[in-house]
Amino acid sequence: MTQLAKLPIGIQTFSEIREEEYAYVDKTPLVLRLATEGKYYFLSRPRRFGKSLLLSTLQALFEGQRELFNGLDIEDKWGWDTVYPVIKISFGGVARSLEDMKQDVGNILEENQRRLDIPCGDPQDIGGCFKQLIRDAHQKYGQKVVVLVDEYDKLIVDNLDQIEVAKQGREVLRDLYSIIKDSDAFIKFAFLTGVSKFSKVSIFSGLNNLEDISLNPDYATLCGYTEHDLDTTFAAHLEGVDRAKVRQWYNGYNFLGEAVYNPYDILLFLKNGRQFKNYWFSTGTPSFLIKMIHQNSYYVPKLDNLMVSEGLIDSYDIENIQLEPIMFQTGYLTIKEQTQVGAITMYQLCFPNLETRYSFNEHILSYLTGQQAEKTRYQSEIFQTLTAADMDGFEQTLKALFASIPYHNYVNNTIGSYEGYYASVIYAYLASLGLDLTAEDVTSKGRIDLTVRMENAIYILEFKVDGSGDALAQVRERNYQQKYQSAGKEIILIGIDFDSTTRNITRFAWEKV
């Protein structure tokens, strides 16, 4: 029996992966292209997507560690005789004050000084020390310097819940990164990675010559695993596994090229007996996103079929934080389709896969309803009644669900005061079950509030609040079911009317067509 290659779970150092013979997906064809065709790059990817490993690979390449590249595509294509001094800036811990931020940057520069054997005249002067490090390294080693920055935005992202501190972090980083532009004559190559993409004006100051490859189709697979990678590098590990289910759970991240898997998901899936669980999502609770949804009374079903402009997801400023770019850049949403509307590039966003959709809505439910232990019971009853097409049971479950939402959940929040709240609760329950949903489903006659496709039937749901109309009558009048009549399944129309005073369903009507 062939021994399986070890899985590099949590290992971000290229040398360790290669020396210890862990499974490695060869990204060096793209690395070679980066290193030879450009000079300044920026890449945004969600957390745990392989950004740190990519920078470690670049560092080993420019430092001429040829033995680590034996057998890889780049081995006979790179000029190994030339070795470059590398400055690596990697933000690790969490800095929650200006003092801690400056200390972190100082420690990072000091580590580079030790490694390159270059002293700094004034350690308290962060910008001056960085500038001296670049110029002295160039002089000492006789080659231009390579600058690699991992998680360039961490000082800001970690403090988005305290905006004033985040602004201080922005200033610290601006002072640091402006040195790169000022030192152009001494730099061979610079690569910055991060989760979020902030405005170049607000962060990089004069560093406006970065080539942003975050949505460049040529580099869509630079981080992440492709289907081919699973077919080759991980073929033995995946023997006998339902690959369609693996795709449904973990694939779907689209950066305008071939869709990729989050590496962390695949590695944990293989390590944990090939069990389908929410490995990536569970490593970071999106508390800041939940807070934004609360503050903006956001209509949750909208996240399932969101149309945004290129400008909206391209970047943002601390003073004008919006939910959509954060959801996209952090990996909770991805690009489903790109369209051109005149001169405007539009993107349709969606949850990338079952893991993110299920997990995010499971988390949203706790916020929307305040329900904990009883949540599982309602999820089970909803699934059972829909599977059996038991509309009376479905109605009673929904009424009991809304009746059990604690009163203080309404008092402490404004969530119950906007119309989208009731639809958001039902949507989040259905999405947390992993059902096939389409929110704001477009037809030739209008938009269906929610469509649920199951093996036994297709459910078309319309919601109204406080006497704003007859929900079922609207479905009938607009003939929403016509879109699905060729599916060969029973279609059930459901109209649900809510009352914001009683905070429950006042009318539940349905019919089969």
Which of 155, 183, 214 marks a domain boundary? 214
Tell me the residue length of the chain.
513
pLDDT score, position 207? 66
Q: How far is residue 65's CA from residue 266's CA, in Å, rounded to a whole number?
A: 28
Q: What CATH number is given to the structural domain containing 165?
A: 3.40.50
- For 155-200, the pLDDT digits (tens) are 988 888 888 999 999 999 988 998 998 999 999 999 999 988 876 5
Instruction: Give a yes or no: residue 280 inside a domain.
Output: no
Q: Is residue 182 part of a domain?
A: yes
Task: Please name every residue paired with 462 in a beta bridge, in sequence order, or none if there are none.
Answer: 495
Domain membership of residue 95 (yes or no) is: yes
Check residue 1 and give its pLDDT: 47
Q: Which residue has the tokens 């970690």?
A: 158
What is 176-233 written as a DSSP string?
HHHHHHHTGGGEEEEEEEESS-B-HHHHTTT----EE-TT-GGGTTSSSB-HHHHHHT
202 found inside a domain:
yes
Q: Is 227 domain-assigned?
A: no
Q: Which long-range contacts (CB under 8 A, 24 or more apart) does 402-406 make?
A: 402/503, 402/504, 402/505, 403/504, 404/371, 404/374, 405/369, 405/370, 405/371, 405/503, 406/370, 406/371
Q: Tell me the pTM.
A: 0.92
Sites in the chain below the pLDDT cut of 50: 1
The domain containing residue 461 runs over which residues? 372-512
Q: What is the CATH number of the domain that holds 402?
A: 3.40.1350
How many whole angstroms separate alpha carbon 321 and alpha carbon 163?
Answer: 10
Last residue of a domain, one of 214, 241, 268: 214
Do strands 344-350 and 446-453 pair parallel, antiparallel, or not at all (unpaired)? unpaired
Q: Would you tell me the crossing angle of helices 373-387 and 420-432 to the nearest 10 degrees?
A: 80
- 325: in domain: no
For residue 151, being part of any structural domain is answered with: yes
Whether residue 249 contacts residue 276, with contact meaning beta carbons closer than 8 Å, is answered with yes
CA atoms within 13 A on the CB side of 270: 22
Contact 330, 160 (CB under 8 A): no
Rg (CA), the chain: 26
Domain end marker among 214, 243, 262: 214
Task: Tally the domains of the chain.
Answer: 2
Q: Are 415 and 297 a contacting pair, CB within 8 Å?
A: yes
What pLDDT is recorded for position 398? Answer: 97
The pLDDT value given to residue 20? 97
Pairing between strand 187-194 and 145-150? parallel
For residues 329 and 197, is the Cβ–Cβ distance under 8 A? yes
The three-state DSSP-derived secondary structure of 34-75 is HHHHCCEEEEECCCCCCHHHHHHHHHHHHCCCHHHHCCCCCC
Is there a domain that residue 86 lies in?
yes
